Structure formats: structure tokens, C-alpha cells
Amino acid sequence: MSTELFSKLLSQNYIELLKDNEYYDNTIEVGEDPNVKIFRAHMNILCYRSPYLRRTLASNKKNVNDVLSHIKLPNISPDIFRIILRYIYGGILSLNGQETSDILKILIAAEVL
């Protein structure tokens, strides 16, 4: 017997969490001038889904005043990072409509992260 308790998949909930502007405890600045974007994220999810981000965050924890942790990733474009961050949160990687050069950039950035 199967009983559905939640109508959404867990991955859908995590994608919604990523889009939510509350309760984040980390900001990630990606790109280089003039193409810079700051993403809001959750340290626990980043740490458990990315060994690289876990190491980076471990050396960049909140200070005593509870100021948000901030990471800079200037070598990754905002568009590429948005795709990777969505994968980190929801396990969904959609490459439909992506140029071949963008797919290569995604693979290079994913290898680092």
C-alpha cells in the first residue's frame, strides 16, 4: 500500500527554497565587472552537496555579529553558476537550449565546484 503524504518531490521543495529570499545565511558573488551577480544560498545545503564549497565555507564562517558568510567566485559567469546552483539544490540539470560553448563552461565550473 502506498500513501502519498506530500504532493511535491523533495527536490522541488529545495528549488523553492533556493528561490526564497528568507532564511539564507550565505551570499555568493559570481562573475567579473560589469557582469556580477550575488546569489543567496544556504550553508548546510552547499556544504553537503559540494566538497569545494564546504572547504571554502569552513574557512569563511560567520563572524561573532552574525554577518552573512560571503564567497567570491569571479571565474564563473552568473548564468553558468545559476545552472549549477539549481543542480546543487534540486539535482536537476537542464541543458536544453544551451550552446555547446556554455555546456563546456558548465562542465568546467562543475568540475571545480
Chain segment 6-26, per-residue pLDDT in tens: 667 888 889 999 999 888 999
Model's pTM, two decimal places? 0.84
Write down the pLDDT at residue 61.
Answer: 65
Mapped onto helix, strand or coil, the DSSP state of residue 39 is strand
84: domain CATH number is 3.30.710.10
Write down the pLDDT at residue 36.
Answer: 96
Write down the pLDDT at residue 67.
Answer: 67
pLDDT less than 50: residues of the chain? none
Burial 60-95 (b: 16+ CB within 10 A, else e): eeeeeeeeebebebeebbbebbebbbbbbbbeeeee
Mapped onto helix, strand or coil, the DSSP state of residue 55 is helix
What is the C-alpha separation between 52 and 47, in angstroms, rounded? 8
Write down the pLDDT at residue 62.
Answer: 58
Write down the pLDDT at residue 93.
Answer: 86
Q: Which domain holds residue 82?
A: 1-112
Instruction: Count how many domains the chain has.
Output: 1
Write down the pLDDT at residue 59.
Answer: 82
